[in-house]
């Protein structure tokens, strides 16, 4: 019998230590790269538990062809990489790691907000290139963040954490959510708005929704057209929430001022033209990438495996 747990990609040591401490036999994907569906299926033969990352696609075929699989611990908050309906139909438990990455992702969202508004990466490139020849009154002038309107789309844990930070910047906060969020209203004085009003009124629009069929291309040509010409779009949720081709066009034509992106529609590919724009800050999907948080995510994933079914292992 193969070890019951398959770890699809190396994870931080804290998770592996916990597996060893609990004397759980596991195998880490030996290939050192993301496995294809067929490879994953071959590795999962006879195994019951999978610990995977958001770059592993666990679709209906993988689920159908892994009859011994009982549980999947996804080491991520998002779980759009897993066909939940197929897993549920087979009675396979699926867990994720929300909560532990909330503050870290909110911090990174703020790094993007400030980076785009105040043109930090652009100014850094300029300085390193030896182009700083003296102070100038208009040199690298960006937009203020304090006192502006922040539009939060999706008032889950991360949306609320981003809003909490905005209070310190004296911002007016709008949020869009299918249900009212008492916490964001109480602790941040945020006001609920429909998406159109939020897009029309916000200087910074920050996306914090899960990727679902309802949120795919939530921000497209029409929505970008509603935004102010001095507005910035920030996305630390999932790439396909934004129509990236429409975004490149809006940025190129100056219909919005800038964008800060940590996620992409066809990750890791970027839409044509995106990387050539000065008014964007582009990060390689590092929202939760602090050493502390990634270790905690690995630990929580292993704890979920241990807890699944109460006595699964
Ligand atoms: C990161 O994007 C996550 O969902 O954990």
Pairwise CA distance, residues 191 & 194, whole Å: 10
Q: 54: which 2 tokens?
A: 């958001």
pLDDT band at 309 (very low <50, low <70, confident <90, very high): low
Same domain, 14 and 54: yes
Pairwise CA distance, residues 206 & 236, whole Å: 8
Residue 267 is among the residues annotated as catalytic for this protein: yes
pLDDT tens, 105-160? 999 999 999 999 999 999 999 999 999 999 999 999 999 999 999 999 999 999 99
Percent of the chain with pLDDT over 90: 97
DSSP 41-66: HHHTTT--EEEE-TTS-B-HHHHHT-
- Report the C-alpha dihedral over residues 153, 154, 160, 162, rounded to 10 degrees: -40
Atom 1, ligand 1: which residue's CA is nearest? Answer: 76
Same domain, 61 and 199: no
Q: Does the residue 134 lie in any domain? A: yes
Pairwise CA distance, residues 229 & 217, whole Å: 20
Element spanning 179, H or E: none
Q: Does the residue 54 lie in any domain? A: yes
CA of residue 75 to ligand 1 center, whole Å: 8
Catalytic residue, from 14, 165, 192, 285: name it. 285
Is a pLDDT exceeding 60 seen at residue 218? yes
As a whole number, mean pLDDT of residues 251-262 equals: 98
Catalytic residue, from 17, 183, 185, 267: name it. 267
| Greater model confidence, 313 or 15 | 15
Same domain, 274 and 298: no
CATH number at residue 234: 3.40.50.720
Total of domains in the chain = 2
From the centroid of its chain, how far is CA 9? 19
Same domain, 247 and 187: yes
- Measured from the Cα of 97, ligand 1's closest atom is 5
Which pLDDT does position 288 carry in this prediction? Answer: 98
CA of residue 5 to ligand 1 center, whole Å: 22
CA of residue 102 to ligand 1 center, whole Å: 10
CA of residue 54 to ligand 1 center, whole Å: 7
- Measured from the Cα of 78, ligand 1's closest atom is 4
Contacting residues for 110 by C-beta, under 8 A, at least 6 apart: 162, 165
Same domain, 131 and 197: yes
Output the CA angle 296-297-299, nearest 5 degrees. Answer: 60
Q: Which residues line ligand 1 (CB under 6 A)?
A: 54, 76-78, 101, 287-288
pLDDT tens, 292-308? 999 999 999 999 999 98
CA of residue 280 to ligand 1 center, whole Å: 21
- Measured from the Cα of 263, ligand 1's closest atom is 2
From the centroid of its chain, how far is CA 294? 13
Pairwise CA distance, residues 252 & 42, whole Å: 46
Report yes or no: 5 and 26 within 8 Å, Cβ to Cβ: yes
CA of residue 253 to ligand 1 center, whole Å: 31
Q: Does the residue 244 lie in any domain? A: yes
Same domain, 120 and 235: yes
Same domain, 223 and 81: no
As a whole number, mean pLDDT of residues 276-305 equals: 97
- Measured from the Cα of 79, ligand 1's closest atom is 4
pLDDT tens, 63-108? 999 999 999 999 999 999 999 999 999 999 999 999 999 999 999 9
Query: What global pTM score does this model have?
Result: 0.96
Which pLDDT does position 3 carry in this prediction? Answer: 84
As a whole number, mean pLDDT of residues 245-255 equals: 98
Q: Does the residue 287 lie in any domain? A: no
Q: Does the residue 79 lie in any domain? A: yes
Same domain, 40 and 131: no
Same domain, 115 and 229: yes
Same domain, 153 and 244: yes
Report yes or no: 173 and 166 within 8 Å, Cβ to Cβ: yes
Q: How many CA atoms lie within 13 A of 77 on its CB side?
A: 26
Q: Which of 53, 56, 75, 77 to mutate to test the pocket of ligand 1 (most atoms within 8 A of CB)?
A: 77
Which pLDDT does position 267 carry in this prediction? Answer: 97
Q: Does the residue 111 lie in any domain? A: yes
Atom 5, ligand 1: which residue's CA is nearest? Answer: 76
Q: Cβ–Cβ contacts within 10 Å for residue 80, how many?
A: 17
Catalytic residue, from 47, 157, 238, 296: name it. 238
As a whole number, mean pLDDT of residues 264-271 equals: 98
Q: Note down the domain range covering 217.
A: 102-282
Same domain, 70 and 143: no
Q: Which of 287, 294, 300 to mutate to test the pocket of ligand 1 (most atoms within 8 A of CB)?
A: 287
Same domain, 74 and 121: no
Report yes or no: 163 and 173 within 8 Å, Cβ to Cβ: yes
pLDDT tens, 158-185? 999 999 999 999 999 999 999 999 999 9
Is a pLDDT exceeding 70 seen at residue 283? yes
Which pLDDT does position 310 carry in this prediction? Answer: 64
Which pLDDT does position 1 carry in this prediction? Answer: 77
């Amino acid at each position: 019998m193969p070890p019951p747990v398959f770890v699809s990609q190396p994870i931080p040591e804290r998770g592996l230590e916990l597996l060893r401490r609990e004397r759980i036999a596991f195998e880490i994907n030996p290939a050192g790269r993301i496995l294809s569906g067929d490879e994953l299926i071959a590795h999962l033969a006879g195994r019951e538990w999978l610990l995977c990352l958001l770059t592993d696609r666990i679709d209906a075929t993988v689920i159908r062809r892994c009859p011994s699989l009982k549980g999947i611990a996804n080491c991520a908050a998002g779980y759009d990489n897993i066909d939940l309906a197929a897993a549920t139909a087979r009675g396979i438990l699926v867990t994720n790691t929300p909560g532990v990455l909330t503050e870290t992702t909110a911090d990174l969202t703020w790094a993007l907000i400030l980076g785009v508004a105040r043109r930090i990466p652009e100014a850094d490139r300029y300085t390193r290139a030896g182009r700083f020849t003296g102070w100038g009154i208009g040199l690298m002038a960006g937009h203020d963040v304090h006192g502006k309107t922040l539009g939060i789309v999706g008032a889950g844990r991360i949306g609320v954490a981003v809003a909490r930070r905005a209070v310190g910047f004296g911002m007016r906060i709008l949020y869009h959510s299918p249900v009212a969020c008492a916490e964001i209203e109480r602790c941040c004085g945020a006001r609920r708005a429909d998406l159109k009003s939020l897009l029309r009124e916000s200087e910074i629009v920050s996306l914090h929704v899960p990727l679902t069929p309802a949120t795919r291309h939530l921000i497209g040509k029409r929505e970008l057209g509603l935004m102010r010409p001095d507005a910035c779009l920030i996305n630390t949720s999932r790439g396909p929430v934004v129509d990236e081709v429409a975004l490149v066009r809006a940025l190129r034509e100056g219909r919005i001022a800038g964008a800060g992106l940590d996620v992409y529609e066809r990750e890791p590919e970027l839409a044509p033209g995106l990387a050539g724009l000065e008014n964007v800050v582009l990060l390689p999907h590092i929202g939760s990438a602090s050493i502390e948080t990634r270790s905690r995510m690995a630990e929580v994933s292993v704890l979920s495996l241990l807890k699944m079914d109460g006595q699964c292992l």
